Structure 1
Amino acid sequence: MLSQQFITTVARYHADDRVATKLWSEVEKHYTSGKRYYHTLTHLENLLQELWSLRDCIQNWDCIIFSIAYHDIVYNTLSKDNEEKSAAFAAERLKEISFPVQRIDQCTAQILATKSHTVSQDSDTNFFTDADLSILGADWEVYHEYTKNIRKEYSFYPDLLYKPGRKKVLEHFLSMSRIFKTEQFFSRFEENARKNLLQELQVFSKS
């Protein structure tokens, strides 16, 4: 579904259909890398699914489609600037299709916002980052599978290094007054997300 949305959106700004297909093929290639287990096309489809029912609340749907597609396009678990590189990648490609400069800026801001997931003055950004975190509030079985896939992506780290880092991430989210910024995501996922995070934290404490 995302492929159709992406290609249709690109076509609104560039007359050559081959460009839209080429850009999607590039996105697909990055997200199907053998080193990815969670940050895959499935993750992108989940974001689209979460936001689809809320599209009437979103002011710039085209921007959201591009933010979904490009927000993790650069993903190197050894790097700390994946968001910055992904935003720069998106900006370059969106300039090629003559996407309006103001919207490119909004798209890159949304991608950068996935680094901290803090409240934004832009409501579309809050919807986007909430969707990015929606996995935290999934049923435990789904959440637990997510944690295993994240561990695979960081498999080069021994438990001695991985567990303290993961624990820090869990505690960071639990320390937030609200994990989800929008009422729509807060009401659906906040309570369960905190239960999942605490349960994972308890597993670390026992091991």
Structure 2
Amino acid sequence: MNLKEKYTELLIHIGFSTNEIQKNWFDLEKAYSNKSRHYHNLTHIKDMIFSFETYLDKLQKPNEILFSIFYHDYIYNSRKKDNELKSAQYALSVLPENISFDRQLVFDTICATQQHQHNAIEDINWLIDFDLKILARDWEDYQVYFEQIRKEYRIYPDLLYKPGRAKALKHFLENESIFQTDEFRNLYEEKARMNIQKEIKLLS
């Protein structure tokens, strides 16, 4: 899958001009290719779009969800706690004023990736699950994932990072379920919980 082609196709459909699309793609690619990004990069976006395409027929507003996937980690700074809000605000700033597009859904969807909690809007639940599917990978891939996350937080010593990471992981386990859709719960819940429990043991 060519991400630039997918992005271009989406923006043409939304109503962007060719020049706008080229500029926005340049900005997007630059943001996600920053050297400080080891996990939250274009590979992560590509993985989410694979899930998006797999479950496309489940979505009420697929264009808004796809747009949200492209922009949900646009702003990413491991020292900040408002990345999702800033990414949502930026995503809206990119959208032309004169198009028919559910801006509120885009804003709410991107903000929902901060807490990953069940939402009344099912499209948002699908995107949350696409975002968290990494948690249910085979252990070798899951190890690569958490090592990449550690690199993104390398400014913090183990003394700070390990308890912080463990707390975030335990938060997932304390929820009734990690995944928000029945499909993902049935397929991935057990595996994700096993992976998280193993990582927590390594952090202690």
Structure 2 length-normalised TM: 0.96
Where does structure 1 differ by over 4 angstroms across 4 or more consecutive aligned residues?
Answer: none
In structure 1, the partner of 2:106 is 107
Residue 123 of structure 1 corresponds to 122
Q: Does residue 202 of structure 1 match 2:196?
A: no
2:143 corresponds to which residue?
144
Matched residues in 1 for 2:162 and 2:176: separation?
24
Contact 1:143–1:196 (CA<8 Å) still a contact in 2? yes
- Using a 3 Å threshold, how does the CA distance of structure 1 residues 181 and 200 change in structure 2: closer, same or farther? same
Which runs of no fewer than 5 residues in structure 1 stay unpaired? none
In the alignment, which residue of structure 2 is the partner of 1:16?
17
Secondary structure of residue in 1 paired with 2:52 = helix
Matches within 5 A, 1:173-188: 173-188=172-187
* Structure 2 Cα separation of the partners of residues 29 and 131 of structure 1: 23
Does the CA contact (< 8 Å) of 2:136 and 2:142 recur in 1?
Answer: yes
Q: Say whether the 8 Å CA contact 1:13–1:97 is kept in structure 2.
A: no
Q: Which residue of 2 aligns with 1:193?
A: 192
8 Å Cα contact 1:137-1:196 kept in structure 2: yes
Q: Is the 8 A contact 2:52 2:66 kept in 1?
A: no
Identity of aligned residues (%): 39
Question: In the TM superposition, what are the counterparts of 1:29-44 in structure 2 within 5 Å?
Answer: 29-44=30-45
CA distance in 1, matches of 2:25, 2:98: 16
Checking the alignment, whether the CA contact within 8 Å between 1:14 and 1:97 is kept in structure 2 is no
2: CA distance between counterparts of 1:24 and 1:136?
Answer: 28
Match of 2:83 in 1: 82
- The gaps in structure 2 that reach 5 residues or longer are none
Deviations 1:65-112 (A, max 9, x none): 110110000001111100110000001001x264435x1110110000
Deviation at 1:15, TM superposition (A): 5.4
Instruction: Tell me whether 3-12 or 172-181 shows the greater mean CA deviation.
Output: 3-12
Q: Does the 8 A contact of 1:179 with 1:190 survive in 2?
A: yes
Partners of 1:21 and 1:202 in 2: how far apart?
46
Distance between the aligned counterparts of 2:108 and 2:131, measured in 1? 14
Give the count of matched residue pairs: 203
Q: 2:94 maps to which residue?
A: 93
C-alpha distance in 1 between matches for 2:129 and 2:64: 16
Per the normalisation by structure 1, the TM-score is 0.95
